[in-house]
């Protein structure tokens, strides 16, 4: 008879009302001391553990907490401290935050997306480091849970191969060497956990869902064979997620006690049915979607578990989420304003714990023991499927969208119209949202001020910042987006088919949290969304003001899309809705329209064989939204952390007139990609990092511009920050932009002199 256990893989850090974020930011501002920060965050951790214990979970994750990012935690614990921070105490919290955020004389470490999610991790820098164990974090949090709550927790650790694959500062042929350097430290962590009494440890190796080379899979095999030989007394659950496990037949032979597989994404069930699963290993069945917020169909999940049991024939089966619940909000219980049909169809982290408990009970004791929960699940899902969200008739998408004229011809017409200087300067879109901006919006939402008062406030902020931008002598201005909460949520509030939450926050990077809208049904554009604010901004200046929109791929990837909706179809619906907004902006006289796609790279499947279909759909959606404008209308787009070389053809296919890429933390590496890609359109590589509060020096900016112009033609290059400025303070923003404009003018003089000579 199969033993059925329940487990979680990780719990949200941020608290029900973002208490974690508020404590950390208060610490950064100096409003609370370190002791207070540690006390407040410990309380949040213990509350999360209590919830999981009360749900009867057999395996509760510990060490899934972080003050910023779990990959950074791993790096600092192993003394992987970038050289520019090595004069600090490696065990100090101030050092940890300095690496993440930068300091006056040292830029922050690079940040990029965690596989194909919207969570960002800090990229470890291996060069010039000497690994050693500074702190056994897993042991600390294991002991805390044991002592405070009598929980025999399951420590969560980023696996050595995944950690090194996500790092930088080494050559490709040095991968094995770096893994072997870290391996004794992992063994020490595991042995200390075993000696402390830990029964299980979860080692996350999501890299096993990617296309590893023969050499890389050999490295994986060596790692776990070595650990099995040298560490005794603890069971390893090797956890994979986000995709079908590649090299499955070799992975299941690794000498570990259990393997966790994702049965939501990819096709791991078919793989097990074809190749079986070792009967002497525990199988972690990830059947509750850890990356989405929609209620599970319990009947469907129960049948899936029965199929898994039959295909695997294991002694022990663990019912668990597909991945950490880091990627979903904490609880839907706070949502008092949501449509009841939508709310009934939701399942946030706490509700997912209940679903895990229900399914575990059904497998152990029979479905009859939890029949009311099954019935409630069916009724909620049927209610949403039969609602008005699903009864719209979507517009049919075109498959041959393209601009009327080639870029070279468009550029001539656009320059005649815009008359921009060499190396034009601009920003990415958003400007600082101060405490006053946020407070006023909250008052408006609560009904404490009228719509007219709120609009007057937004207009005043817009007018102030148009004047600031003119005083700074920027060439292309933005209206600042003071009316917007978030670049995706704002459009979710305005487009039919979406719903928005009050407390549906998830961590994006560091203390930055976002509130993805809920995409519940077919999408339609009903009326202009951005035209009024942008037209007002344009009326205040003779310089061009960019229209600012979020693109269809990003809206899709940064929303919680109901699993019953075909993703590419919905993406086209969003694109057609945005096309109407683009044309409305053009009709209002807006000559530059930026359609941001920061999520284009992150949405890529882990399996490269699935890339072509993804790229085709993404490119077509962008062109649906943008291709029907006049040739004189300049289309911009912006992307985050994109490995340009990997997605070059797709970016080129977007046919945007200007693309800006968020690359300041890895500026030189991005420039190198242009040495092998002959990109013809205009481009802006962010010349300074907006995720750090430090103001760049003029010398840094000049160096970044000069490095880019060694490869990119001066006629193509735009100068801008690497992302929106929403999260920055006003003084530092003005100071940084002042330096940026000064650097641009110096570069213009230099190239004018070269041309004259």
DSSP state of 14: S
pLDDT at residue 239 in the model = 98
Distance CA 711, CA 118 (A): 30
Run of H or E including 650: helix 648-654
Span 469-510, pLDDT tens digits:
999 999 999 999 999 988 899 999 999 999 999 999 999 999
pLDDT-above-90 percentage for the chain: 82
Query: Is 461 marked as a binding-site residue?
Result: no
Segment 234-255 shows an average pLDDT of 97
pLDDT at residue 274 in the model = 96
Burial 190-209, CB ≥16 within 10 A → b, else e: bbbbbeeebebbbbbbbbbb
Query: Is 660 marked as a binding-site residue?
Result: no
Span 322-361, pLDDT tens digits:
999 999 999 999 999 999 999 999 999 999 999 999 999 9
Segment 148-159 shows an average pLDDT of 98
* Whether pLDDT at 556 is above 60: yes
pLDDT at residue 751 in the model = 87
SS3 at position 752: helix
Q: What six digits make up the tokens of 610? A: 């699935």
pLDDT at residue 393 in the model = 66
Q: Of the residues 70, 120, 265, 691, which is catalytic?
A: 691
Q: Out of 4-13, 58-67, 198-207, 386-395, which region has the weakest mean confidence (pLDDT)?
A: 386-395
> Backbone phi, then psi, for 418, in 5-degree steps?
-90, -30
pLDDT at residue 689 in the model = 79
Cβ burial, residue 430 (10 Å; 0-12/13-18/19+): buried
Span 371-407, pLDDT tens digits:
999 999 999 999 998 988 876 666 666 777 899 999 9
- Global pTM reads 0.90
* Whether pLDDT at 533 is above 90: yes
Span 450-463, pLDDT tens digits:
999 999 999 999 99
pLDDT at residue 641 in the model = 56
Segment 17-40 shows an average pLDDT of 97
Residue with tokens 């979680």: 8
Kindly list the structural domains of the chain, giving each domain's residue range(s) and its CATH number in brackets, ordered by start: 3-13+59-388 (3.20.20.210), 407-756 (3.20.20.210)
Could you list the beta-strand ranges (E) of 150-281: 154-158, 200-204, 235-239, 258-262
* Whether pLDDT at 642 is above 80: no
Segment 286-301 shows an average pLDDT of 97
Q: What is the DSSP string of 659-685?
A: EEEE-GGGHHHHHHHTTT----SEEEE
Query: Is 88 marked as a binding-site residue?
Result: no
For residue 237, the tally of other CB atoms under 10 A from its CB is: 25
- Using 50, 70 and 90 to split pLDDT, how confident is the model at 666? low
DSSP state of 491: H
Our answer to whether residue 87 is catalytic in this structure is no
* Whether pLDDT at 529 is above 70: yes
pLDDT at residue 724 in the model = 87
> Backbone phi, then psi, for 705, in 5-degree steps?
-65, -45
Distance CA 574, CA 622 (A): 10
Residue with tokens 């994979």: 240
Query: Is 113 marked as a binding-site residue?
Result: yes
Residue 214: which region, alpha, beta or left (left: phi > 0; alpha: psi -120 to 50)?
alpha
SS3 at position 543: coil
Segment 128-144 shows an average pLDDT of 97
Instruction: Please check whether residue 7 is in contact with residue 284, taking contact to mean a CB–CB distance below 8 angstroms.
Output: yes
Query: Is 323 marked as a binding-site residue?
Result: no
- Using 50, 70 and 90 to split pLDDT, how confident is the model at 723? confident
Q: What six digits make up the tokens of 689? A: 């990092």
Measure Cα distances from 134 to 42, 82, 124, 198, 519 in Å: 21, 15, 15, 20, 44
Distance CA 301, CA 356 (A): 10
Q: What six digits make up the tokens of 167? A: 């790092």
DSSP state of 516: P
Q: Out of 114-118, 234-238, 331-335, 576-580, which region has the weakest mean confidence (pLDDT)?
A: 114-118
- Mean residue pLDDT of the chain comes to 93
Residue with tokens 């190239």: 751
Q: What six digits make up the tokens of 180? A: 């072997």
* Whether pLDDT at 646 is above 70: yes
Distance CA 534, CA 546 (A): 8
Query: Is 724 marked as a binding-site residue?
Result: no
Segment 249-257 shows an average pLDDT of 98
Query: Is 430 marked as a binding-site residue?
Result: yes
Query: Is 19 marked as a binding-site residue?
Result: yes
- Using 50, 70 and 90 to split pLDDT, how confident is the model at 686? confident
């Amino acid at each position: 008879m199969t033993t059925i256990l329940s487990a979680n893989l990780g719990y949200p850090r941020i608290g029900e009302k973002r208490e974690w974020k508020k404590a950390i930011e208060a610490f950064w501002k100096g409003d609370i001391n370190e002791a207070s920060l540690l006390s407040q965050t410990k309380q949040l951790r213990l509350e999360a553990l209590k919830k999981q214990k009360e749900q009867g979970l057999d395996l509760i994750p510990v060490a899934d907490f972080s003050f910023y990012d779990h990959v950074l935690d791993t790096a600092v614990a192993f003394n992987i401290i970038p050289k520019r921070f090595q004069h600090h105490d490696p065990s100090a919290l101030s050092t940890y935050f300095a690496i993440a955020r930068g300091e006056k004389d040292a830029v922050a470490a690079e940040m990029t997306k965690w596989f194909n999610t919207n969570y960002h991790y800090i990229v470890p820098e291996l060069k010039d480091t000497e690994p050693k164990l500074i702190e056994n974090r897993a042991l600390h949090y294991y002991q805390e849970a044991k002592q405070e709550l009598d929980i025999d927790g399951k420590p969560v650790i980023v696996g050595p191969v995944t950690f090194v694959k996500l790092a930088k500062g080494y050559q490709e042929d040095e991968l094995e060497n770096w893994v072997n350097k870290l391996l004794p430290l992992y063994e020490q962590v595991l042995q200390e956990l075993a000696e402390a009494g830990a029964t299980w440890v979860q080692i996350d190796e999501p890299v096993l869902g990617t296309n590893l080379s023969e050499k890389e899979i050999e490295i994986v095999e060596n790692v776990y064979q070595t650990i099995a030989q040298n560490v005794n007394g603890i069971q390893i659950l090797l956890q994979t997620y986000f995709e079908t496990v590649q090299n499955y037949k070799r992975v299941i032979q690794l000498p570990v006690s259990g393997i966790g597989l994702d049965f939501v994404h990819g096709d791991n069930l078919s793989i097990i049915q074809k190749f079986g699963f070792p009967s002497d290993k525990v199988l972690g069945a990830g059947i509750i979607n850890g990356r989405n917020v929609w209620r599970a169909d319990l009947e469907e999940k129960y049948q899936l578990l029965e199929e898994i049991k039959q295909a695997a024939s294991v002694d022990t089966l663990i019912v668990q989420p597909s991945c950490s619940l880091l990627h979903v909000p904490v609880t839907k219980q706070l949502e008092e304003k949501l449509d009841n049909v939508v709310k009934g169809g939701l399942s946030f982290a706490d509700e997912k714990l209940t679903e895990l408990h229900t399914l575990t009970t059904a497998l152990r004791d029979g479905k009859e023991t939890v029949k009311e929960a099954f019935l409630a699940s069916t009724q909620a899902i049927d209610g949403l499927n039969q609602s008005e969200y699903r009864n719209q008739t979507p517009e049919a998408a075109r498959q041959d969208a393209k601009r009327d004229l080639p870029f070279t011809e468009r550029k001539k017409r656009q320059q005649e119209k815009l008359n921009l200087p060499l190396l034009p300067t601009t920003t990415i879109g958003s400007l600082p949202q101060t405490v006053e901006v946020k407070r006023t919006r909250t008052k408006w939402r609560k009904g404490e001020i009228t719509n007219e008062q709120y609009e007057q406030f937004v207009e005043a902020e817009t007018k102030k910042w148009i004047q600031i931008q003119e005083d700074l002598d920027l060439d292309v201005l933005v209206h600042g987006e003071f009316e917007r909460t978030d670049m995706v949520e704002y459009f979710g509030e305005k487009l039919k088919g979406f719903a928005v939450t009050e407390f549906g926050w998830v961590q994006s990077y560091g203390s930055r949290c976002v509130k993805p809208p809920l995409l519940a049904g077919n999408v339609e554009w009903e009326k202009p969304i951005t035209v009024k604010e942008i037209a007002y901004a344009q009326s205040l200046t003779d310089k061009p003001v960019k229209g600012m929109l979020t693109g269809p791929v990003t809206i899709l990837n940064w929303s919680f899309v109901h699993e019953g909706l075909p993703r590419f179809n919905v993406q086209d619906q969003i694109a057609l809705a945005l096309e109407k907004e683009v044309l409305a902006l053009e009709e209002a006289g807006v000559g530059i329209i930026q359609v941001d796609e920061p999520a284009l790279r992150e949405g890529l499947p882990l399996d490269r064989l699935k890339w072509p279909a993804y790229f085709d759909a993404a490119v077509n959606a962008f062109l649906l939204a943008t291709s029907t404008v006049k040739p004189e209308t300049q289309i911009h787009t912006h992307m985050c952390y994109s490995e340009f070389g990997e997605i070059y053809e797709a970016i080129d296919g977007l046919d945007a007139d200007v693309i800006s890429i968020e690359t300041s933390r890895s500026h030189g590496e991005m420039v190198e990609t242009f040495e092998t890609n002959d990109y013809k359109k205009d481009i802006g590589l962010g010349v300074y990092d907006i995720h750090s509060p430090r103001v760049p020096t003029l010398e840094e900016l000049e160096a970044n511009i000069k490095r880019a112009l060694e490869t990119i033609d001066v006629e193509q290059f735009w100068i801008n920050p690497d992302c929106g400025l929403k999260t920055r303070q006003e003084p530092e923003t003005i100071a940084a932009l002042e330096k940026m404009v000064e650097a641009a003018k110096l570069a213009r003089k230099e190239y004018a002199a070269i041309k004259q000579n």
